[in-house]
Chain A
């Protein structure tokens, strides 16, 4: 029988935690943008084995997404040079807000919330001034734009929360583009990609540049390990015949380590790292290449290439308990372990570049 004290404690608890949580949205394991059979773009919430829990239409092609740390809200970000970021209530699939960057900016397709969920940060191109920008939005007050700061380079793309210190890590790809010339690359001869570590107020805390011979290797995508080690994936803008690494590891304060540099199989990536993730236990790091149709898995200690997994148009990649989960442009999800690849659910749509893990 319920005691008076227990009953009161229960009342108090419900009163203190009236907020909806991700459990109310069916606890999706992943978010991913996609394109359905009719050519319409969407953001979907997926179960661990690739079933679709909810889907929300987008006004154009999405890219990555950001999930609020506690509220069941997802932000679907437009693929560059898009100008929308839709905040979606994942319980009902309804729109909460549509964010638009200031005039003269476009989104790059990635963003992240602050650990307390009070702020949303978005990577943006201030294209008239060729400056990388981080936009700051007030997630506690209707997603109002409340500020911006320099990203530490040109072409900020992926961005994650640091785990070793409060702040952000940003992949500045180094490539200047202007919507007036489509997706054309305007500064290849003198591009200088970097990883920038910024405080939440935009203070530059640390920066990593690649050796000069790799200045054409655009750093685009990031993975974060619990100890603060950053995995980064690169896209080579030079001669496609050169044997160039597509992945590396970096911890602020130490030099970067390039992975599988001497293994000729890096050529199978076609110079293009699409997504990067640590394995569930953090001992391995995977990089996908849709152009090579391959996932390469490397050892994070020795840096050696351990396994290659062939999948048509593979790009999305996330950690999973047994290793990794991948998604493809043919609507498939796969569970990846050292033993091989195991097909999961297939949907009648094309999964876009990134598979964002929520839990």
Chain B
């Protein structure tokens, strides 16, 4: 997980280069996710069955989902490759 985060952050930042606010959002998002992954210290998510560590795993999952939403909702349109009007709708 950490490996993927570390690999994806420079790519996201490079793609967001012309948009300083978006870069700031990515930096903040990646740093939050990285911090949670480090605290968890459980690379194969072995603790998923334990309620306490499952809660922390789900919290990391939420950070990743937020990053995905940032990519689909902000980075995509900024690059002119917006996903569908209907496919993003959810209604």
A79 touching B86, Cβ below 8 Å? no
Q: Does B50 belong to the interface (CB within 8 Å)? A: no
- Interface size for A (C-beta < 8 A) is 24
Q: Using a CB-CB cutoff of 8 Å, which residues 64-91 of chain B contact chain A?
A: 84-87, 89-91
B90 touching A352, Cβ below 8 Å? no
A329 touching B90, Cβ below 8 Å? no
- Interface size for B (C-beta < 8 A) is 7
Min CB gap A289→B, angstroms: 8
Interface centre among B85, B86, B89 (most CB of A within 10 A): B86
Among the 9-residue stretches A6-14, A92-100, A309-317, the one with 4 or more Cβ atoms under 8 Å from chain B is A309-317
A329 touching B86, Cβ below 8 Å? yes
Min CB gap A109→B, angstroms: 7
Q: How far is the CA of A328 from the CA of B84 in the complex (A)?
A: 9
Closest to A350 in B: B85
Min CB gap A141→B, angstroms: 31
B84 touching A290, Cβ below 8 Å? yes
B87 touching A291, Cβ below 8 Å? yes
A329 touching B91, Cβ below 8 Å? no
B91 touching A290, Cβ below 8 Å? no
**B90: A residues at CB distance < 8 A:** 183, 235
Min CB gap A356→B, angstroms: 15
Closest to B90 in A: A183
Q: Does A151 belong to the interface (CB within 8 Å)? A: no
Partner of B91, one of A63, A314, A330: A63
Partner of B87, one of A35, A235, A290: A290
Closest to A274 in B: B86
Closest to B89 in A: A353
Closest to A293 in B: B87
Q: How far is the CA of A80 from the CA of B89 in the complex (A)?
A: 11
Min CB gap A106→B, angstroms: 13
Q: How far is the CA of A290 from the CA of B86 in the complex (A)?
A: 6
Min CB gap B40→A, angstroms: 21
A80 touching B91, Cβ below 8 Å? yes
Q: How far is the CA of A351 from the CA of B89 in the complex (A)?
A: 12
**A329: B residues at CB distance < 8 A:** 84-87
**B89: A residues at CB distance < 8 A:** 79, 290, 315, 352-353
Min CB gap B26→A, angstroms: 21
Contact with B along A58-76 (1 / 0, CB 8 A): 0000010000000000000
Min CB gap A84→B, angstroms: 16
Contact with B along A145-185 (1 / 0, CB 8 A): 00000000000010000000000000000000000000100
A35 touching B84, Cβ below 8 Å? no
Q: How far is the CA of A238 from the CA of B25 in the complex (A)?
A: 28
**A63: B residues at CB distance < 8 A:** 91
Q: How far is the CA of A79 from the CA of B89 in the complex (A)?
A: 10
Min CB gap B46→A, angstroms: 19
B residues with CB within 8 A of A? 84-87, 89-91
A residues with CB within 8 A of B? 35, 63, 79-80, 109, 157, 183, 220, 235, 274, 290-291, 293, 312-315, 328-330, 350-353
Q: Which 10 A-B pairs have the closest CB atoms?
A: A313-B84, A329-B85, A290-B86, A315-B86, A290-B87, A350-B85, A329-B86, A329-B84, A291-B87, A313-B86
A315-B89, A329-B85 known, 4 other contacts, Cβ within 8 Å:
A183-B90, A290-B87, A328-B86, A352-B89
Listed A/B pairs (10) with beta-carbon separation below 8 Å: A79-B91, A220-B91, A290-B84, A290-B86, A293-B87, A313-B87, A330-B84, A350-B86, A353-B86, A353-B89
